[in-house]
Amino acid sequence: MAAFRRFPYGGTDNLSEKGDLSLLAERLAAAAKKRYSCRSYKDQPLECLNELEAFAEDGYEILGSFSDVRFCILRDPEASRSIMKGPWGPLPSLLLMAVRTDRPHFLEALGYAGQQVILEATALGIQTCWVSGMFSLDKATKHFPGLEKHWNVVAVSPLGYASANAKTGAKQKLFKFLSAQRGRRHGLDVIMHPTELASLPPVLVNALQAAAQAPSALNQQPWRFAIRGTELTISSKHPAPKPDHPSRLDLGIAMLEFAAAARALGEDGFWQPRQTEGNPIAAFIREP
Ligand SMILES: Cc1cc2nc3c(=O)[nH]c(=O)nc-3n(C[C@H](O)[C@H](O)[C@H](O)COP(=O)(O)O)c2cc1C
């Protein structure tokens, strides 16, 4: 897998990079259709972790010019269990996601990069579940080598093979009970004004449909899309999200799902981050 970390801000004129990026988009967009949050794992070591580790090192595209994201894959089931809070059962491996938190757009950048690693795991047959609150920050930091000042582990995800009852078991049912909306998604008319939606070209409607399926904390789906002038923008449903507002992590994830779907359909575009203290968070720049 080619490295995209140095993929330049504002797109690229390099045809080989463009080609690599669209292959990556196709792979991720296909994986997004299969991904779900898995909460029961087999007590079984994983194959392909080296491949995933290589991807998490330098296989993904950064958001804008933000490259201060790092991933660490723990292969020790005991350590993985000790970091997670709650009744998870066996956890063969854990993905730790860290970001430098004194930079603008750090949460969107982590969501954008992290969702690529999550989808690459899906493509490799490994199940995942984003977790941003219910883990021990102290223990996760202890297991993350070389984290410097201003760097925080913001989210983690189990990595494993789904146990037979992963979609229907007690943990999944409990989670459904706690989060009535789990699994359901808003219609497009909720995340974008119907008049604006009607003016979008079909390829962007398809990309919006993909973004609407993105995972989010408690399935809150805090993203809203709009047309401002000639641009498609993404905003948080919260009126003035500060740089550390949790919805920004979800927005970064949705931006990735949108971009992957759009590029897989032949639309070369990229997200350009905008306001640091409010909405809109970013605009999707279409390339001619
Ligand atoms: C940032 C983030 C944090 C999440 N935190 C948790 C969590 O702490 N525990 C959990 O069981 N699921 C967590 N989830 C998973 C969401 O509940 C899940 O994505 C959502 O309900 C949609 O379901 P799906 O991922 O199966 O499509 C989180 C998801 C995201 C994106």
The 10s digit of each residue's pLDDT in 167-189 is 666 766 666 555 544 578 999 99
Q: Tell the residue nearest (CA) to atom 7 of ligand 1.
A: 131
Residues 34 and 137: their CA atoms lie apart, in Å, by: 29
Q: Tell the residue nearest (CA) to atom 10 of ligand 1.
A: 131
| Binding site membership of 182 for ligand 1 (Cβ less than 6 Å) | yes
Q: Which of 33, 177, 216 to mutate to test the pocket of ligand 1 (most atoms within 8 A of CB)?
A: 216
| The token pair that represents 92 in the structure block | 């063969």
Ligand 1 center–CA 111 separation, angstroms: 13
Q: Tell the residue nearest (CA) to atom 29 of ligand 1.
A: 217
Q: Diameter of the chain by CA atoms?
A: 53
Number of residues assigned to the chain: 288
| Binding site membership of 219 for ligand 1 (Cβ less than 6 Å) | yes
pLDDT digits (tens, 9 = 90+) for 223-236: 999 999 889 999 99
Residue 269, CA distances (Å) to 138, 194, 227, 230 in order: 39, 23, 15, 14
Q: Give 66's pLDDT tier (boundaries 50, 70, 90).
A: confident
Ligand 1 center–CA 33 separation, angstroms: 16
- 15-286 has which fold? NADH Oxidase (3.40.109)
Task: Give the number of other Cβ atoms within 10 Å of residue 51's Cβ.
Answer: 16
CB-count exposure of residue 92 (10 Å: 0-12, 13-18, 19+)? buried
Residue 115, CA distances (Å) to 16, 19, 118, 251 in order: 23, 20, 5, 11
Q: Which of 218, 247, 249, 255 to mutate to test the pocket of ligand 1 (most atoms within 8 A of CB)?
A: 218
Output the pLDDT for position 250: 98
| Binding site membership of 140 for ligand 1 (Cβ less than 6 Å) | no
pLDDT digits (tens, 9 = 90+) for 9-60: 344 555 566 677 888 999 999 999 999 999 999 999 999 999 999 999 988 9
- Let me know: does 282 contact 108? Beta carbons within 8 Å: yes
